[in-house]
């Protein structure tokens, strides 16, 4: 990774340019504090500033985070493709809590397929910090957010943020902020147990929230997901934790507001990481728009929707199953069948929201369902077999839908399964992995929007969009949907599945 240019960073700091938020941090030598470039405190002199890429680097150097701009809320550094695959994979695992509780560096390295020594060297070379330092930075950041913004007890905060004990939590907070956790709470609470916790998920503006809601609304799975009045709600199962969550746009700042049932507190790091991928919160919209706007075909639409994001997936297997069920039928029909699948094979879950009744079925439940069972739900025989083969591959561990997987390898593995073609594989790489360069070249909607050209011609034309081809495709789907008065990309995707899949 190229070194930071201090002069460029200082100019961005003077302008408080939100496009750089999360891409670097400023450490002030005279105060021992580090801030985001958008912090509204008095700008320090140039000679007092040290610039670093990550909050973990600042903390490793002995700087404390600012209590005003709260660096733990800064959008994550992106794109991940700027890092080596090993480091990017490790970062995603750490963000989901891989080194919290009982996880070790050697365990993490083994999962990635490298030695612990190699992982330490790679992260030190590319990020300037060790895996443990990065993990500690993420734990402390989440803990601070929970202390300030929720009514969770300190014990609940400690375990929700990944600490093995309350003693270690107290020691870490006091060492980092020079005060005990209880002194950081904004107000005294009545002590009544809370049923939910609310956290802010910040992003770099602009963000086209209506377009994201339109995209997801066309694909909600009855019983599992609901979109109501601009709010996204869903049921959640992560390990042994079950519950629900809701997400809406924060009208006062560049953030989404997530309300999460406290039953999911033990899996909170994973929940937050998944939400950031679902809503594409770590994207750099200014950089993406500037690049795509060089193409005369995309430029008008990019100018009209500079905040368009990729619609991701909270649960990669759920997205994969949903894509298979949607082959050769309309989006509305696919939603209906997916809802039947959840009602028949998913576990019921209690929530306070009408319409949220079931968890999406796990791979094992689909593997053990017979073809006859699936046929009664309206799943044709060939698609039923494809769905069961997909579930079997995931259940056995032959196919990993982990967001840190290598996208090109996932595409190859998906295409090797019976009944899955290149369109579905690229669509899943786009949604499940958040791969910004995925491109379903055979999509009829894309080809039509580009003048009725062939898939090969579309691929050649889209070369100039790299590494943001998925965003280019999303712009074309959005434009096509707007022209037809339909939901984002819904018709083009339905037509494509009917034409490209076996």
Domain boundary among 50, 73, 96: 73
pLDDT band at 480 (very low <50, low <70, confident <90, very high): confident
Write down the residue that tokens 């809503």 correspond to.
279
pLDDT for 212 equals: 95
Residue 500 has pLDDT above 90, yes or no: no
pLDDT-above-90 percentage for the chain: 40
Same domain for 400 and 322, yes or no, is: yes
Q: What DSSP letter does each residue of 169-227 carry, written as one string?
A: HHHHHHHHHSS-GGGG-SS----PPPSEEEEEEE-PSP--HHHHHHHHHTT--TBTEEE
Q: Please say which residue of 130, 155, 184 terminates a domain.
A: 184
193 located within any domain: no
The more confident residue out of 402 and 160 is 160
Of residues 92 and 261, more confidence is placed in: 261
Do 342 and 447 belong to one domain?
yes
| Same domain for 177 and 38 | no
Of 131, 161, 184, which marks where a domain is finished?
184
Q: Tell me: the pLDDT tens digits for 215-237? A: 999 899 999 999 999 999 999 99
Same domain (yes/no): 28, 143: no
pLDDT of 486 above 80:
no
Question: Is the residue at 466 inside a domain?
Answer: yes
Cis bond before residue 467 (omega within 30° of 0): yes
- Which residue from 442, 501, 440, 444 is spatially nearest to 472, judged by alpha carbons? 440
The answer on pLDDT for 501 being more than 60 is no
The span from the CA of 359 to the CA of 369, in Å, is: 16
- Per-residue b/e over 208-219, b at no fewer than 16 CB within 10 Å? bbebbbbbbbbb
Residue 307 falls within a domain, yes or no? no
Do 341 and 456 fall into the same domain? yes
Residue 250 lies in a domain: no
Cis bond leading into 239, ω under 30°?
Answer: no
Examine the domain organization and report whether 126 and 160 are in the same domain. yes
Residues 65 and 107 reside in one and the same domain: no
Instruction: Please check whether residue 290 lies inside any domain of the structure.
Output: no
Are the CB atoms for 401 and 432 separated by under 8 Å? yes
Is pLDDT above 70 for 479?
yes
Which residues share a beta bridge with 33? 28, 64
> Does 497 score more than 80 pLDDT?
no
pLDDT in tens, 296-343: 999 999 999 999 999 999 999 999 999 898 887 888 898 999 999 999
Question: In this structure, is residue 232 part of a structural domain?
Answer: no
- Asked if the model's pLDDT at residue 243 lies above 90, the reply is yes
- 331 lies in the same domain as 451: yes
The string over 97-121, giving b where at least 16 C-beta atoms fall within 10 Å of a residue's C-beta and e elsewhere, is bbbbeebebeebbeebebeeeebbe
Whole-Å CA distances, 411 to 1, 313, 393, 421, 422? 27, 16, 14, 9, 7
CA dihedral 422, 377, 226, 440 (to 10 degrees): 10
Q: Do residue 459 and residue 323 come from a single domain?
A: yes
Least confident of 6-20, 114-128, 409-423, 440-454: 6-20
53 and 91 in a single domain? The answer is no
3-state helix, strand, coil in the chain (%, to 5): 50, 10, 40
Residue 423 — φ and ψ, nearest 5°? -65, -50
For the segment 137-153, the average pLDDT, to the nearest whole number, is 87
Above 60 in pLDDT, residue 209?
Answer: yes
Strands (E), 12-70: 25-28, 33-35, 49-52, 64-65
Q: Which CATH number do you get for residue 122?
A: 1.10.10.60
pLDDT greater than 80 at residue 349? yes
Domain residues for the domain of 33 are: 6-73
Question: What pLDDT, on the 0 to 100 scale, is given for residue 41?
Answer: 87
Is the per-residue pLDDT at 191 higher than 60?
no
Band the pLDDT of 190: cuts 50, 70, 90. Answer: low
* Residue 285 pLDDT > 60: yes
* Mean pLDDT within 177-185: 86
Residues 331 and 479 in one domain: yes
Which active-site residues does the annotation give?
A: 35, 443
Q: Is the pLDDT of residue 496 over 60?
A: no
The CATH number given to whatever domain includes residue 37 is 3.40.10.10
pLDDT reading at 378 higher than 80: yes
Residue 116 domain-assigned?
Answer: yes
Number of domains the chain contains: 3
68 pLDDT tier (thresholds 50, 70, 90)? confident
Within a domain: 282: no
- Tell me the pLDDT of the chain averaged across its residues: 86
Indicate which CATH number applies to the domain containing 413.
1.10.340.30
pTM flag (> 0.85)? no
C-alpha 239, offset from chain centre? 18
Question: Is 479 found in the same domain as 404?
Answer: yes
């Amino acid at each position: 990774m190229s070194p930071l240019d201090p002069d460029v960073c200082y100019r961005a700091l003077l302008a408080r340019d939100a496009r750089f938020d999360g891409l670097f941090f400023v450490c002030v030598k005279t105060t021992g504090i580090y801030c985001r470039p958008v912090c509204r405190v008095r700008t320090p002199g140039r000679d007092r500033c040290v610039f670093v890429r990550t909050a973990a680097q600042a903390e490793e150097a002995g700087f404390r985070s600012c209590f005003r701009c709260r660096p733990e809320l800064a959008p994550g550094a992106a794109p991940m493709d700027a890092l080596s695959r090993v480091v990017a994979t490790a970062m995603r695992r750490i963000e989901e809590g891989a080194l919290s509780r009982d996880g070790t560096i050697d365990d993490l390295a083994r999962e990635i397929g490298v030695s612990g020594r190699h992982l330490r060297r790679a992260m030190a070379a590319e990020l300037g910090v060790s895996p443990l330092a990065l993990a500690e930075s993420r734990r402390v950041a989440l803990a601070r957010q929970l202390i300030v913004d929720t009514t969770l007890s300190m014990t609940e905060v400690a375990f929700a943020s990944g600490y093995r004990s309350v003693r270690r939590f107290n020691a870490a907070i006091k060492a980092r902020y020079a005060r005990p956790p209880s002194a950081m709470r904004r107000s005294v609470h009545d002590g009544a147990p809370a049923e939910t916790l609310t956290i802010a998920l910040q992003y770099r503006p602009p963000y086209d929230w209506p377009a994201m809601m339109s995209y997801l609304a066309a694909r909600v799975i009855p019983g599992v997901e609901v979109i109501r009045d601009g709010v996204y709600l869903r049921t959640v199962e992560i390990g042994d934790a079950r519950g629900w969550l809701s997400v809406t746009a924060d009208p006062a700042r560049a953030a989404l507001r997530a309300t999460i049932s406290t039953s999911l507190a033990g899996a909170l790091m994973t929940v937050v990481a998944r939400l950031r991928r679902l809503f594409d919160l770590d994207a750099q919209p200014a950089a993406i728009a500037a690049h795509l706007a060089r193409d005369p075909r995309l430029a008008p639409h990019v100018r009209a929707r500079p905040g368009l994001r990729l619609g991701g997936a909270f649960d990669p297997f759920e997205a994969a199953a949903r894509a298979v069920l949607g082959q050769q039928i309309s989006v509305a029909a696919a939603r209906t069948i997916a809802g039947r699948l959840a009602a028949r094979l998913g576990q019921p879950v209690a929530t306070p929201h009408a319409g949220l009744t079931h968890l999406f079925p796990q791979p094992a439940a689909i593997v053990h369902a017979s073809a006859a069972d699936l046929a009664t739900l309206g799943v044709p025989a060939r698609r039923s077999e494809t769905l069961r083969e997909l579930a079997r591959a995931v259940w056995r561990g032959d196919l990993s839908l982990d967001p840190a997987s290598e996208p090109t390898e996932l595409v190859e593995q998906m295409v090797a399964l019976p009944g899955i073609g290149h369109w579905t594989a690229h669509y899943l790489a786009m949604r499940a992995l958040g791969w910004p360069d995925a491109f379903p070249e055979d999509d009829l909607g894309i080809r039509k929007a580009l003048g009725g050209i062939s898939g090969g011609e579309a691929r050649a034309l889209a070369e100039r969009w790299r590494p943001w081809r998925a965003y280019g495709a999303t712009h074309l789907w959005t434009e096509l949907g707007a022209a037809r008065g339909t939901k984002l990309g819904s018709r083009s995707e339905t037509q494509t599945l009917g034409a490209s899949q076996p």
